[in-house]
Amino acid sequence: MAKSNKDGRPAARLPRGLSDTPPEGVRETSRMLSVIRGVYESYGFEPLETPAIEYTDALGKFLPDQDRPNAGVFSFQDEDEQWLSLRYDLTAPLARYVAEHFDRLPKPFRRYAVGPVWRNEKPGPGRFRQFTQFDADTVGTDNIAADAEICMLTADTLEALGVPRGQYVIKVNNRKVLDGVLAGIGVDPVSEADAIKRLTVLRAVDKLDRLGPQGVAMLLGSGRKDESGDFTPGAGLEPRAVDAVLRFIGAGSQGSGKTLAAIEPLVRGANIGRAGLAELVEMERLLAAAGYASERVAVDASVVRGLDYYTGPVFEAQLTFEVRNDDGQLVRFGSVGGGGRYDDLVARFTGERVPATGFSIGVSRLQAALAAIGKAQGHPRLGPVVVLVMDRAELPRFQRLTQTLRAAGVRAEMYLGTAGMKAQMKYADKRASPCVIIQGADEVARGEVQIKDLIEGAKAAATIKDAKEWRETRPAQVSVPEAQLIEAVRGLLARHKAHA
């Protein structure tokens, strides 16, 4: 139950793991989504929307946090006592949609989708319970060229958003290769009996960037206690098996062909591992031919992805530049999205294998990255022009001025409060207004309006010494004939946009 104040009113507070988005954040997100949508459309992907709520059994139990009581999702029962859940990603709903409409869909089916998803996981720094994802998926083909194309799409998207080449890399691995390693240490990659152990290994390796090799080793072995005292059970692997997994992920990314040569001895005895290597060899060939060599897309043995439904190539978009964390330390920004091949997900509904591959961008994290490197596109958003109300008895006149501005395409509002001039000016400042429009009785008599440039006025105010000088100079304030209002305001806005 929500906390209450002493008088019984509920406390104004956000649930843990959630956040509000202020206007500037909403606008920047909208701009980002428009850019991403343009790149996805250029590759021929079509939009699709699915509901935020699905039947729980349709989502399946693939989450990394599935040892929690409700498998990491927010769930509830409807009036028919059927369990429903908020979607935890956009891929499981896509699988349900494809299974439901399979006969009428083109094959391959290429779709993109954007929307919020929810995870009932322990929140922490940069780890939210609600966040936005932007996905692109190709369903209905096992052609490895589809996986290579997803990597190209991701690289093009990052560059279109302003991430310079050389400050990102799309890392690629293959679950079949890891399955070959697991088979070599006695963990059956397909047996239900070893499913939990396999998932625990995946979850452990997926935390390499955050915990380092020692932390991963603990999770592969008996388990790990974090800084808060919470204990995470490990996979229970023997030391020899832990060493084999660490040697595999330790191969890292050594350049075209070299990484594959380093991990080949670890999977030589497993057919599934050799099949995964062959797919990675083909992906390297396709990517190099298209101009996406290892400085943009590279094989990296440490990438496995934490979700359990991947069956082949897996991808992760990593930003390689450094930023300062809360402690002032320089750290790499890290992952802003990932994906891979999931050939068995649709089969949960149909019983027939439908190959698929896709990628998901974490919109909020990528937005933070763009801000960190100063590449948020566009100019700082100017607020609306504010028409001040000098006399409440003359509201129709001020409303007419406001509508004149709007009709000319100028974002404008009339002050709707009841305060005086000083408070109205403060309001305009808080709204980031570039200027205010003033028309008192004297201006009406002369057929004029005053335009006060708040941006230039603030600059000038910093150099004015006293009130007398302020009254004499009246910085950045001009009078123009009312007939020239639109022209004057447009000129002012153009100047500020050009220097933003």
- Check whether residue 93 and residue 235 sit in a common domain: yes
- Check whether residue 230 and residue 125 sit in a common domain: yes
- Check whether residue 84 and residue 119 sit in a common domain: yes
Phi first, then psi: give them for residue 248, nearest 5 degrees: -65, -55
Is 139 within a domain?
yes
Q: How many domains does the chain have?
A: 2
Is 11 within a domain?
no
Which CATH number fits the domain that encloses residue 415? Answer: 3.40.50.800
Cis peptide bond prior to 106, omega within 30° of 0: no
- With beta carbons less than 8 A apart as the criterion, state whether 155 and 168 touch: yes
Return the pLDDT at 70. 54
- Check whether residue 406 and residue 365 sit in a common domain: no
Is 153 within a domain?
yes
Is 18 within a domain?
no
Return the pLDDT at 279. 95
SS3 call for 294: coil
Among 372, 406, 439, the domain-final residue is 372
Return the pLDDT at 334. 81
Over residues 274-287, the pLDDT tens digits come to 999 999 999 999 99
Q: What is the mean pLDDT of residues 190-208?
A: 79
- Check whether residue 357 and residue 402 sit in a common domain: no
- pLDDT confidence bin for 327, thresholds 50/70/90: low
Rounded to an integer, what distance in angstroms lies between the CA atom of residue 271 and that of residue 389?
79
- With beta carbons less than 8 A apart as the criterion, state whether 320 and 298 touch: no
Is 1 within a domain?
no
b/e code 414-445 from CB counts within 10 Å (16+ = b): bbeeeeeeeebbebbeebebbbbbbbeeebee
Among 324, 340, 372, the domain-final residue is 372
Is 491 within a domain?
yes
DSSP state of 132: E
Averaged pLDDT score across all residues of the chain: 86
Return the pLDDT at 102. 94
The mean-pLDDT minimum among 160-174, 205-219, 294-308, 319-333 falls in 319-333
Residue type, 115: G
- pLDDT confidence bin for 330, thresholds 50/70/90: low
- Check whether residue 87 and residue 177 sit in a common domain: yes
Q: Is the per-residue pLDDT at 225 higher than 50? A: yes
Is 256 within a domain?
yes
- Check whether residue 238 and residue 345 sit in a common domain: yes
Q: What is the mean pLDDT of residues 325-337?
A: 72
- Check whether residue 274 and residue 218 sit in a common domain: yes
- Check whether residue 389 and residue 368 sit in a common domain: no
- Check whether residue 70 and residue 129 sit in a common domain: yes
Q: Is the per-residue pLDDT at 203 higher than 90? A: no
Element (DSSP H or E) covering residue 109: strand 109-118
Q: What range does the domain containing 259 cover?
A: 23-372
Among 372, 397, 418, the domain-final residue is 372
Residue type, 34: S
- Check whether residue 423 and residue 320 sit in a common domain: no
- Check whether residue 259 and residue 160 sit in a common domain: yes
Q: Is the per-residue pLDDT at 483 higher than 90? A: yes
Is 13 within a domain?
no
Which CATH number fits the domain that encloses residue 290? Answer: 3.30.930.10
